[in-house]
Structure 1
Amino acid sequence: MSRVIDAHQHFWDPDRAEYSWMAGDALAPIRRAFGPADLAPLLAENGLDASILVQTRSSLDETEEFLRVAHATPFIAGVVGWVDLTDPSVGSTIDRLRRLPGGNKLVGIRHQVHDEPNADWLLRSDVRHGLEAVFAHDLSYDLLVRTRELPLATATVRAFPRARFVLDHCAKPPIATGFDRKWADCITELAACGNVWCKVSGLATEAVWADWDAARLLPYVTHVARSFGEDRLIFGSDWPVCLLAGSYGAIKKAIEHCLAQLGPTIPTKAFGPNAVTAYRLAP
C-alpha cells in the first residue's frame, strides 16, 4: 500500500533564528518552537505515515539543519530546502548538500518569491541559471507565489518543460475577500503546463481564521482539481502555520472532505502517490 503523506510541513525555533514573516500579534500563537516530537503524534492520530519538511527562511544553515533532522527522523520522506539561486556556484552548493547526512532526502528547492519586491524575480537571468542547476540535479522547484506572480510562474514553467514544479498553497487565493476571477484564470493557464503539480494546502489560513469550514474552501479546491486533474493534486497541512485557523485534524478533514466531493480516487492520489511522483520520493 502507498504511504499517506503530508507533503507540506515546517519546523522552526524563534529562539534560535529570526523569521521576519512571523512578526505581529496575529502570529503570536505559532511563535514558538515546533519540531519532530510535536508532529509525530499528529501524523499518527490522523493516519499519515510520512511528511515533507519545507524551508521557512532564506538560509543554507536551515537547509543543512533540516537535512540532519530528516536523517534522524524516519517519517520525514523528503526536504524542500533553500539555496541562493542567484549564486553562480549554486550547483556546487547542491552537491555539498547532497553529501551531508540526510542529503539523500533533499527533493526540492523553494524561495519566498511572493515576498520579492520585483514581481519579475523569477524571470531574472541569474535566477534562471540557478533553476537550471536545480533541475540538473533532478530536484523539483516549489513555487511560492500569489496571483501577482502567477503569470511569471507560468512563463518559468514553460521555459523548463522537462522540469518538475510544485505550486504551493494553490497560489494563496484571497479566500477571505471572495472568489477572485484573476486568480482562477491564472491557475487555469498554469495548469495547462503538464509539468506542474498543485499542493492543496494553506487554504484555511487564507480564509477568515475564525470563520471558515470545508464549504468555504470547496470552490477553490474544485477549481484547482478541474484545472490540474486528479494526478497532479497533492495534500499538505502547512502545519504549524495552519494552527492559526484550526487544528491539524480539522485542516486534514476539511481538505479530505473537499477532495472526496470531486471523485472517488482523488483523495487517495492526493494523499501520497502524487507527492511520490512530483518529488521522486524513495520507496
Structure 2
Amino acid sequence: MPVIDAHQHFWIYDPIKDAWITDEMQILKQNYLPDDLHKELKQAGVDGTVVVQASTRDQENTFLIQLAQAHPFIQGVVGWVDPCSHLLEEQLQIYQQIPIVKGFRHIVQSEPDDYLLRKQVQLGIAMIGRYGFTYDILIYPRQLAAALQLVESLPEQPLVVDHLAKPLIRNKQMEPWASQIKMLAQASHVYCKLSGWATEADWQQWTPEDVYPYFDVIFDAFGSTRILFGSDWPVCLLAASYSQIKQTVEQYLLRYYSEAIPAVMGQNAIRFYRLPVSS
C-alpha cells in the first residue's frame, strides 16, 4: 500500500512574503523545494505527497502546480483562493481543468475568530465544493466553535481539519479542544490530519508521551477511516526531523491501531483527495 504524506509545503524564502517566519524560526528562513524533500521521502519510505499552500497569493498556485508537474511524487496540490473574491467562480473554472489541483485552503488561523461564520465565506467555501474541490480548515482551538457551524452549513462538502486544530500540547491543555473536536467529528464528511503536532508541543523537549493523549482524542473522535498522516515539512523541522515525525506516528499506530496503518498512512489520503495512486 502506498504511503502518502498528506500535508507538506514548498517555498522560495522571501522575508516579506513569508513574514510569518519569525526570528525564532531561523531554520525556515531558506528555500525548501522538491529535491530537498525527495531525499527525506526515500529515506522514510514515503511514496507521494500532497503539497499545501503556504502563501495567500494567486502566484502560489502557479508555483505549486509547476512543481507538481515536474516532480511525480507530488500527487496533489491544495492551493489558495479567497472565498470572498468576486473572481472565485472564474478561478475555480480554470483550476477545474488542472487535475493535480485537489482542493484549497485559506489561513483562517490568522483571521478573526468569527471568520468562518461570515455568510460570504460560507458561500465561497460552498462554491469550492460544488466545483468538486476539498477544503482544508486551518484553525486554532478558539475557532472550533465557528468551524462547527461551518461544518453544519456544508453537509456535502469534503472538509479536513489541519494539524488537529492545533491543541495546546505545550501547556498540556485538553479542554475545551477535546470536547469540541469530538463534536466536529460527528459530521461524517469531516476528516482530520495527524500533522503539525510537534510544533504545538515543546520544540526542544517534547516526547511521544506528550502528544499521544492528543492522538487518542483524534482516533476516538474520527476513527481510523478519517485520519490522514501528514508531516507538515518543513515547518516540522522546528521541533523534529521528517523521520522523527513519521516514526512517532507509526509507533503509535503499531501500539494501538496496527490494523489502521494502511488507511492512516495512505488509503485515507488517496480517497479524500482523489489521488492517482491506487491500492
Where do residues 8-157 of structure 1 align in structure 2 (5 Å cutoff)?
8-15=7-14, 18-23=17-22, 25-99=23-97, 103-116=98-111, 118-157=112-151
Q: Distance in 2 between matches of 1:153 and 1:262?
A: 29
Instruction: Call closer, same or farther: CA 1:270–1:252 in 2, change over 3 Å.
Output: same
- Residue type matched to 1:106 in 2? V
Q: Distance in 2 between matches of 1:31 and 1:16?
A: 8
Aligned with 1:22: secondary structure?
coil
Q: Distance in 2 between matches of 1:260 and 1:165?
A: 27
- Residue type matched to 1:97 in 2? Y
Identify the range of structure 1 (74-83 vs 88-97) with the bigger mean alpha-carbon deviation: 88-97
Q: Distance in 1 between matches of 2:168 and 2:106?
A: 21
- Residue type matched to 2:229 in 1? F
Give the drift of 1:15: 3.6
Q: Does 1:210 align with 2:195?
A: no
2:257 to 242, 248, 263: 263
Give the structure 2 partner of residue 242 of structure 1: 236
Give the drift of 1:30: 1.1
Aligned with 2:72: secondary structure?
coil
| Contact kept? 1:88, 1:130, Cα under 8 Å | no
Aligned with 1:150: secondary structure?
helix
Give the drift of 1:155: 1.0
- Residue type matched to 1:130 in 2? G
CA RMSD of aligned residues (A): 1.2
- Residue type matched to 2:48 in 1? A
Give the drift of 1:135: 0.4
| Contact kept? 2:126, 2:157, Cα under 8 Å | no
Give the drift of 1:188: 0.5
Q: Which runs of 5+ in 2 are unaligned?
A: none
Give the drift of 1:16: 8.3
Q: Distance in 2 between matches of 1:257 and 1:47?
A: 15
Runs of 4+ displaced beyond 2 Å: 259-262
Aligned with 2:77: secondary structure?
strand
| Contact kept? 1:9, 1:238, Cα under 8 Å | yes
Deviations 1:76-131 (A, max 9, x none): 000000011101220111222344xxx21111110111110x21111212111211
Q: Distance in 2 between matches of 1:231 and 1:31?
A: 36
Q: Distance in 1 between matches of 2:274 and 2:92?
A: 17
Deviations 1:136-165 (A, max 9, x none): 111110000111111111111111111100
Deviations 1:163-212 (A, max 9, x none): 10010000011100013210101100100111011100010110111101
Q: Distance in 2 between matches of 1:260 and 1:88?
A: 48
Q: Distance in 2 between matches of 1:20 and 1:126?
A: 27
Q: Distance in 2 between matches of 1:170 and 1:74?
A: 28
Give the structure 1 partner of residue 171 of structure 2: 177
Aligned length: 277
Q: Which runs of 5+ in 1 are unaligned?
A: none
Q: Distance in 2 between matches of 1:259 and 1:266?
A: 7
Give the drift of 1:17: 6.1
Greater RCO (CA < 8 Å, at least 6 residues apart): 2
Give the drift of 1:216: 1.2
| Contact kept? 1:140, 1:164, Cα under 8 Å | yes
1:161 to 144, 147, 155: 155
| Contact kept? 1:70, 1:79, Cα under 8 Å | yes
Aligned with 2:176: secondary structure?
helix
